[in-house]
Amino acid sequence: MNKRERLWSRYWAIRDNHHPGHCTPILWHLAMGGDTMAMVELSSTFSRPGRIFERFTQAGLAFRAFRRGDATGAQHLAMNAFNIGDLGQYRHWLGKAARLGDNDAARELRRFEIRLPHEDAALIGRKRPYKSFDFPEAE
């Protein structure tokens, strides 16, 4: 197992299995080393979305991950746009994520719903009940 894999293993053990330690410094180390998954994971720890040009915000880290070819970064940018009510940017970033191979983003883009079932959608008045197609593995 290489160093990167050991760090990820330690991160997941701390975060999910409640092993002793702090997991955020591990994310910082991996993200500074260019790990796109760490960039996206670290962006989820910040409270405010920020802007793409601000390096250490949700949007900034997700954008850098997207620029390195990570579809999850584009999907995070799409959800940030949806959560502030910018449906044009929501569609734009869904398209970018779909082009990078994110099947969920491609499905969302085809359907292009302006109401979603998650709790953040309720905060901006765009919540809807869950539907059967929200759980594709059950189909």
Identity of residue 39: M
| Helix, coil or strand: residue 116 | strand
Q: What is the structure's pLDDT at 139?
A: 47
Backbone angles phi, psi at 47, to 5 degrees: -85, -35
pLDDT, average across residues 99-121: 81
- For the full predicted model, state whether its pTM sits above 0.75: yes
Tens digit of pLDDT for each residue in 14-34?
Answer: 988 888 888 889 989 999 998
CA gap 134, 139 in Å, rounded: 10
Q: CB neighbours of 35 closer than 8 A, spacing ≥ 6? A: 4
Q: CB neighbours of 93 closer than 8 A, spacing ≥ 6? A: 74, 75, 77, 78, 81
Tens digit of pLDDT for each residue in 72-84?
Answer: 999 999 988 888 8
CA gap 5, 65 in Å, rounded: 18
Q: What is the structure's pLDDT at 136?
A: 67
Percent of the chain with pLDDT over 90: 30
Fill in the DSSP letter of residue 14: H
Q: Are 109 and 82 spatial neighbours (Cβ–Cβ below 8 Å)?
A: no
